[in-house]
Amino acid sequence: MLNGYARVSTTGQDLETQKEILEKEGCEKLFVEKVTGTSTKQRAQLYEAIEFAREGDTLVVTEIDHLARSIMDLNKIVHESAEKGVNVRFVKLLFKE
């Protein structure tokens, strides 16, 4: 199963574009939140997405920086997912400067 995760950090940013991309990628369930990306501690939908995923599922995210803001966070999230047999896939691999 493909599950999508979308995040923006401010209320002025738009989640709709991310949601549309994830739906076009074939995601059956979306986890969406408006919360800062500086820490994963406040990101309830991220933890719900990881908890929801089952072995063989894929967590799809539009861009790396929507999932993690540091290499340490990215490593932790991908490692936790991999331990469950869940893949993580990014639609766009470009970092913003």
Contacts made by residues 73-77, CB under 8 angstroms, sequence distance 24+: 73/40, 76/40, 77/40, 77/46, 77/50
Q: How far is CA 47 from the centre of its chain?
A: 10
Which among 9, 39, 70, 81 is annotated as catalytic?
9
* Catalytic residue flag (residue 9): yes
Which of the residues are catalytic?
A: 9
